[in-house]
Amino acid sequence: MLSQLNNTIKELLFPNICMMCSKEHASGKSNPFCFSCTVNMPYTNHFKNQPNNASPKFRGRIPCVDVACLLNFYSYSDVKKMLHKLKYKGRKDIGFELGLMAGKKAKYSNYFNDIDLIVPIPIHKSKLIKRGYNQSTFIANGIAEFIKAPVREDVIIKYTHTKSQTKMNRIERVKNVRSSFKLADKNGIQGRHILIVDDVLTTGATIEACGNHLLESNGVRLSILCMCLARN
Ligand SMILES: [Zn+2]
């Protein structure tokens, strides 16, 4: 009774605000989205068929088993604002919730089978200290609730800042991004099917760089799951 009263007081003092539409809602304290936004998000249909319109991003670049994004991401959309809150406003819960949604779709699709490890794209240590967290790790933790595999943050390390790429051609850019990551556990991932996780898929250069490092280990297979596919 007392705890119920406490919860009611907490909800009055700290109303649950939806991270998409900014309205108050009652979808449960742990949910960052209201029911209406959850239903009406710009979902892709990537979990129904492979290949889908995210797959060509990696064709001829790295071999992938399955590729999917949860949401379509257009500039100046509510998805962009929501991602900003995830990355820069401390709302790790957004990442976890998106991960849950993507993990559930992946689990009940015909794809993303036999995943052994989930590897979030790492961020540099100085960025981690400044931001306090890696948003992709929270996404990966949400996915792991459905795809029962360990989340490994120690497999790939980002150890230098990526140099400015404005004057580079495509091949130089690929080399530049690749040289800012290193594989830290080559032996421990042999023969594994690894799910690479990131927040937004734009050019795919970062995922390609990390994927190439993972493929240095014998018998590794890769799948990719991103929360958003940049459409323009
Ligand atoms: Zn909403």
The answer to whether residues 141 and 92 touch, using CB atoms and an 8 Å cutoff, is: no
- Is there a single domain that holds both residue 35 and residue 48? no
Task: Answer whether residue 4 shows pLDDT above 70.
Answer: no
- Is there a single domain that holds both residue 58 and residue 83? yes
Q: Extract the tokens encoding 19.
A: 């991270």
- Is there a single domain that holds both residue 120 and residue 215? yes
Ligand 1 centroid–CA 106 distance in Å is 24
* Number of domain units in the chain: 2
Task: Give the pLDDT score at 215.
Answer: 97
- Is there a single domain that holds both residue 218 and residue 156? yes
Ligand 1 centroid–CA 13 distance in Å is 19
CA dist 120 → 104, 143, 154, 166 (Å): 17, 11, 10, 26
- Is there a single domain that holds both residue 17 and residue 125? no
Averaged pLDDT of the chain = 91
Ligand 1 centroid–CA 24 distance in Å is 8
- Name the 3-class secondary structure at 208: helix
Ligand 1 centroid–CA 136 distance in Å is 22
pLDDT tens readout for residues 37-57: 999 999 999 999 989 999 999
- Is there a single domain that holds both residue 36 and residue 48? no
CA dist 106 → 9, 29, 35, 50 (Å): 38, 25, 21, 12
Ligand 1 centroid–CA 29 distance in Å is 14
The answer to whether residues 119 and 156 touch, using CB atoms and an 8 Å cutoff, is: yes
Task: For residue 189, give its domain range.
Answer: 42-230
pLDDT tens readout for residues 69-123: 999 998 888 999 999 999 999 999 999 999 999 999 999 999 999 999 999 999 9
CA angle 208, 211, 217 (to 5 degrees): 150
